[in-house]
Each structure stands twice: as structure tokens, then as C-alpha cells.
Amino acid sequence: MVLASMVVASMVVVSMVVVSMGVVMSPCWAASTPTTMDRSPHLVQDPAVRAPLTMTPQVHRLTVGSLTESTGYRVLRPRGTSDWLLLHTRAGRGRLRLPGGVELFAEPGTATLISPGTPHDYGVEEQLQHWQIEFSHFHPRPEWAVLLDWPEAAPGVGRLVLDEEVEQRMLPSWSAAAFWYRSSQPRADLFAMNALELVLLLCDTANSRSAPLDPRILRVLEHLDQHLAEPLSVPALAEVAHLSPSRFAHLFAAQVGTSPARYLEQQRIARGRMLLEHTRRPVAEIARAVGFSEPPYFSTRFRQLVGTTPVRYRQDRLDPARGGADA
């Protein structure tokens, strides 16, 4: 569990990270014609000078940042992303159009959690003026499953209302996560993950659904993590949990927030990313090491979920320069 010392008060507070966003305009959100957005970390751009971008972030373990956006800002990803997205509203208001036709305002003191594969459609409308957020795209550790079981505002979208004390305790953790994400120090990404875990733990104190993870499901998560290279089916995992396949699948989805098959694939792709970045093993060998018997299928699913091919992903990771994060 995360130690408070990971996020010491002397941590340098990172300057606001302003990054290129997937901005898509439509008449119902703004009528202005956008051009390119300035990357300056302290300037909020007039939406009339923004360029529409179509971008899905490529995330290894996590990205972390903060943004202050103005009228006309919008992110639209019809297929969502392969990672989880956490949005914490500090000031202003955002508007989220959620699956099922639900609309939700992101008020100060609220946190929104969007699961993998859930469509993204959020931004700032004219009358809302601005939206200040902290955000993180991340691939959770297996033991985080219990921290991601939030009350649903819509399918795949969780929402919590945080009290002032929790928010104040979260701020150093957000700053620490952003600091380590931008750092070039050894194991910086692990420090960033630890800081983000503390953010999620603090959010969990406001979660009415917070409850211990069922030990049978925890046993399965541990088994998955240790046996990714092996053939794993729902009936086989149900045996690990000592449940019938139908009861296991239902309980797993209720506890983890996704199906066993989808969770397994996410973990295999996440392990594949780690091996591509930190080893020189051939792609075909990595595919088999994470449970894909057919390497071409691994490459196909990797491209569909991550947004690039395994070879290109490895090449991009060789560049030491770290860019900004996308909310």
C-alpha cells in the first residue's frame, strides 16, 4: 500500500501540464472555427484558435496532468481508450455526454472514472466558461480492482462527490504523480503509480460502495497475473474461484467492472507493453510470453487497443524525450 512518504510535502509542485487534446467541434458545442492550440503551460487559448485533433493517447503505465480549458473545448473518442481515465474537477464546470443519452455536469469536488472501451464525449460549453481538472490515463495494478468499483452514473462511467478534506489531502498526491510522470529519474513511473494509488485510495474513502474485494475474485486476479502465458478460459478461472462458470462470470464483472475475458486481454496487452519497452525480445516471443499463441493476432489486438503496432510502440519508447499527456 502506498506510504505517505511517497508524496512528501517538500515535493516540487509541477507546473500545469498543457497538452494537445483530441478536440472535435460540432454546432451543438461551439460555432467557432478552430486552429492550432498553443502549448504554453500558463495560457488558456481562445477556442477560435484551436485545431481539431483526432488522438487517442498511448499509455504505458500512466499519464498525469492538469488542464484549464475554456469555451469550445471538447474531447470525442467514440471507441474510448484501452486505459482507465480519471478526471478530478478543481474549478469551473465540465459537461459529459455519457452512454445511454445521459448528460452530467462535472462540478468542483467531483471525480469521474471512465473505464476502458467506454466512449468519451466531454468538454466545456459556452455558458460554462472554463473547466479546471486534474486527470490521469492509467493501466491499474491487479490489486487496484477494488478501488475502481465506483457508483455508476452511466455504463462504464463512475462518479464520486469528494468532501473538502479529501480534496485537500489529494492535492499533494496529484502534484507528486505529475512530478514523477515528468521526471527522468530511475523508476519514476513507479513513484508516479504509487502517488496515483494514493489518489484512488482517498477517492475510495468517499465511495459508498467501498467494500473488501471478494477473496475468490482476488484469488483469480492473482492467478491471472502469475499465469498470463497459459491458456485461460472462463471455466478454468471459475475452478480457481470454486464457482460455477456463470456465477463466476457474474461475480467477476460485479467486482472488477469488466468481463473475465476482457480483463485478461487487457492484462496481457499491458504485460506486452512492458516487455516491449524494457526488453529486446522479439515481438513473436513476447506475444507467446503473454498468452497469444498466434503472434499476428497479438499484433492486431495490440494495434486495436493501444493505437499503434508493437514494433512502432517499441521504436517510440526508444525516444527519451517525454511529451505531454492527453486528457
Helix or strand run (H / E) with residue 86:
strand 84-92
Asked if residue 88 is part of any domain, the answer here is yes
Cα–Cα distance, 290 to 36 (Å, whole number):
40
Q: Whole-model pTM?
A: 0.56
37-95 pLDDT, tens per residue? 333 333 333 434 343 234 666 678 899 999 999 888 889 888 888 899 999 999 999 99
Give me the half-sphere count of Cα atoms (radius 13 Å) on the Cβ side of residue 174: 24
157 forms beta bridges with: 114, 154
User: What CA–CA distance (Å, rounded) separates 317 from 325?
Assistant: 15
Strand boundaries in 139-231, DSSP class E: 152-154, 157-161
For residue 6, being part of any structural domain is answered with: no
Structural domain harbouring 46: 17-204
pLDDT band for position 310 (50/70/90)? very high
- Read off the pLDDT band of 4 (50, 70, 90): very low
Which residues lie closer than 8 Å to 220 by C-beta, 6 or more apart? 237, 240, 241, 248, 252, 260
Phi-psi region of 179 (alpha: psi -120 to 50; beta: other; left: phi over 0): alpha
- All three cell numbers of 292: 497469444
| Residue 55 and residue 191 in one domain | yes
**Same domain for 274 and 236:** yes
Distance CA 210, CA 96 (A): 24
User: Both 259 and 151 in a single domain?
Assistant: no
- Say yes or no: 159 and 75 in one domain: yes
Grid cell 452530467 is found at: 104
Which pLDDT band holds residue 195 (cuts at 50, 70, 90)?
Answer: very high
Residue-wise pLDDT for 97-119, tens only, equals 887 788 889 999 999 999 998 99
Do 100 and 178 fall into the same domain? Answer: yes
Average pLDDT over residues 187-191: 90
Write the CATH number for 126.
2.60.120.280
Task: Look up the CATH number of the domain holding residue 235.
Answer: 1.10.10.60
Using only the alpha carbons of the chain, give its radius of gyration.
20
**Cα 221 to Cα 122: distance, rounded to the nearest angstrom:** 32
Count how many domains the chain has. Answer: 2
Q: How far is CA 175 from the centre of its chain?
A: 17
Give the pLDDT confidence score for residue 142 in this predicted structure. Answer: 84
- CB within 8 Å of 246: residues ≥ 6 apart: none
Q: Does any domain span residue 3?
A: no
Euclidean distance between the first and final Cα of the chain, in Å?
26
* Helix (H), strand (E) at residue 121: strand 120-123
| Residue 7 lies inside a defined structural domain of this protein | no
Please give the single-letter amino acid code of residue 27: P
Give the separation between CA 191 and CA 204, rounded to whole angstroms: 20
Average pLDDT of every residue of the chain: 80
Spatial distance between the Cα atoms of 133 and 66, rounded to a whole number of angstroms: 6
Using CB atoms within 10 A of its CB, is residue 254 exposed (0-12), middle (13-18) or buried (19+)?
Answer: exposed
